[in-house]
Amino acid sequence: MIDWPYPRIIAHRGAGKLAPENTLAAMQVALQHRQKMVEFDVKLSADDVAVLMHDANLDRTTNGIGPVRQFNWAELARLDAGSWHSEAFAGEPIPRLDSALAWLLEKGMLANVEIKPSPGLELHSGRLIARACKTLWTRQDIPCLLSSFSEAALQAAMATAPALPRALLMDRLFPDWLARCRRLDCVAVDWNEGLINAALVRDAHAAGLRVLVYTVNDPQRAKQLLDWGVDSVITDWVDQLSPQG
């Protein structure tokens, strides 16, 4: 297996549920809890600016309405991505990918960048986001980890930035999961917590793959997974689980 320079605990969407997801404020909360690595989602605006956002639509986590892809960066930059969470974060903006990576580098933290393409933009998103990470992530000793549910996006990322490690996210247990990972030259497989068992971890490791599991919000479950040999657990409980597990 490849070396695994990433911590055993990874903060989900910045700081899980303690702050508005996919914002710099969330990353700051993760840092305050001594987390070493954050996972966050990236989509493209109408003018192809990479921004941090999980959903296809703006409605849930901002005061905007409609698909992210219908708005250019200047419009997205004016939205409030914090008030939905709590008044304490009112006015928190949607960050750009370049700003998020620069902030993490400044703080000495690591990045798990999930490519979250809008429908029909799988290849385009994979190319642009991987290129941005390749260019902007200057911490050459520990690269940012690219992940996605979209195999097409990871295929494009592999062609664009082959040196950046990739993890295939899975919310179903595909019979050919190993073949899928190998086609994309992944270093890791990232399974939904409900799918994982000790045998799967052993099988993945025997095939040379590292194993991540999302989203684990029970300390005892996290301990069980780590005892099975899971390499990294992604959690909302950044205040409950230490970065070393």
Task: Give the catalytic positions in this structure.
Answer: 12, 54
**Number of CB atoms found within 10 A of residue 180's CB:** 16
- Helix ranges (DSSP H) in 1-84: 24-32, 73-76
Residues 231/8, Cβ–Cβ less than 8 Å: yes
Would you say 29 and 107 are in contact if contact means Cβ atoms under 8 Å apart? no
b vs e for 1-40, b when ≥16 Cβ sit within 10 Å of the residue's Cβ? eeeeebbbbbbbbbbbebbbbbbbbbbebbbebebbbbbb
